[in-house]
Every structure is written in structure tokens, then in C-alpha cells.
Amino acid sequence: MKKTVWSITWHVLAALFVLLLFYQAWIAAHIAWWAGRNPATSAFMDDRLIIMQSKNPKAKLQHTWVAYRNISNNLKRALIAAEDAKFVDHEGFDWEGIQRAYEKNMARGKIVAGGSTISQQLAKNLFLSTKRTPWRKAEETIITLMLEAILDKQRIFDLYLNTIEWGNGIFGAEAAARHYYQISAAQLSIEQAARLAAMVPNPRYYDSHPEAKGLLRKTGIILETMEFAEIP
């Protein structure tokens, strides 16, 4: 009887391991495909659309893909200054940033800061559900390593710029520039770029609260530091 139970358990575990390998291979294949092609959507965009259409069946996302060269360098610098100052140098993880975020969260007794890099954010946005599970962070780590191994920094940043959320149903730099400023992403000024970068941690809130003090304060900080940001 014990042998039967152990045999069944072993076969189940082996099957799960094989399925996990196939899933990782599926993700790696998608990343390789996107090295030269643009994804039409992302897991996060799909989740947001489902939520929006549950309230309004006619709801649609605002999203237009644009080439990396057609996005203002002001926005690129502002985002790196705001989200991941060491982006061009690290291999997917900013360990010092993670440590600072951990210490800040421990001091406050709650999560008030994150240490996720642009690569980690992209991994989550492209593939993972918005639901928090014990396995999501581990999977995010694996996908981040794949992104860094398969794609160069410019392509990672290109994908990020075109899929990041910038408001309720607003995704990507082009849609954000047109929604907030009625211009293309290529035309964004330094001030406009800094403000968009400041919105990233809480875009839907800032979409409906454009005069929030936190947004104005962070915009000012980004304006002071973005000139030093190195872009790929």
C-alpha cells in the first residue's frame, strides 16, 4: 500500500515538473519571438480589460504601439530616473534597491516602497496575473532572468514603454501622451515626461487626481535627477 501511494505521488510530482518545464519553455519562446515582433497585448492589459468590461461591456483600452525611436528621450530618462536608475548596468535585479525598499517597509510596518526593476515590472506585466500568490514572485524572478538573457536592454525598455499602464485603460507611451497632452510620444517635453513618470506607481489614482500632492512632489524630484539617467 505504501509503495502504491509513493508511486502515485512520484508520478504526480513528475507530471507537474514536466508541465512546469513546458510552461517555462512557452514563456521563453514568446520572449524570443518578441525580440523582433511586438506583442498585441499583455496579461496585465487583458486583466484590466476584463475588469473594465465587467462595468461597461463597450469599454476598450487606449493603446498604440510606437517604435522606440519615436518615443521622446525625455520620457526614457524620466522613467529610468524614477523607476530604475541602474537599469543599463544590472542584470535584472537592483539588490541595493531591494534592500532599501525592505528597510523602508520594515520601518513603516507596511509596504510603502518596492524594489522592482524595469525588467521585473515588464515580466509581471507581460505574463502574470494581478492576483498575489506565493508563486508569483518566484515566477517573476524566472521570467526576469529570461528577459535579460534573451533580449538586449533597449528591447526590454521598448517593450516596457509600450505596455506600461498610465491610467484607467491607458497603456503605452503613445496612448499616455495623447490622452494627457494631445501630442505624440515623440513630442513630450521634459516637464511632461517627468509628470508621466511620476504617475507610474499609481496611474489610475493619478489619472483621476491630477493635482495630488504626491504626484507634484515626485515630478519635482524626477526633474532634478533625470538629466543624469542613462538610457539604452
Q: What is the pLDDT of residues 142-168, one digit of tens each?
A: 999 999 999 999 999 999 999 999 999
Identify any residues that bridge with 165 across adjacent strands, giving them in sequence order.
171
Q: What is the pLDDT of residue 117?
A: 95
Break the chain into its structural domains and give their ranges. Answer: 1-33, 39-228
> What's the grid cell of residue 53?
468590461
Q: What is the pLDDT of residue 95?
A: 76
Residues 84 and 148: beta-carbon distance below 8 Å: no
Higher pLDDT, 99 or 46: 46
What is the full DSSP assignment across 141-191? HHHHHHHHHHS-HHHHHHHHHHH-EEETTEESHHHHHHHHHSS-GGG--HH
What's the average model confidence in pLDDT over 19-28?
A: 88
Q: With pLDDT > 90 as the criterion, what percentage of the chain qualifies?
A: 75
What's the average model confidence in pLDDT over 44-64?
A: 96
Is CATH 3.30.300.340 the right assignment for the domain spanning 39-228?
Answer: no
The reported pTM is 0.89
Q: What is the pLDDT of residue 4?
A: 75
- The per-residue pLDDT of the chain, averaged, comes to 90
Q: What is the pLDDT of residue 110?
A: 46
What's the average model confidence in pLDDT over 215-219?
A: 97
Q: Name which of 1-10, 48-57, 190-199 the model is least confident about.
A: 1-10
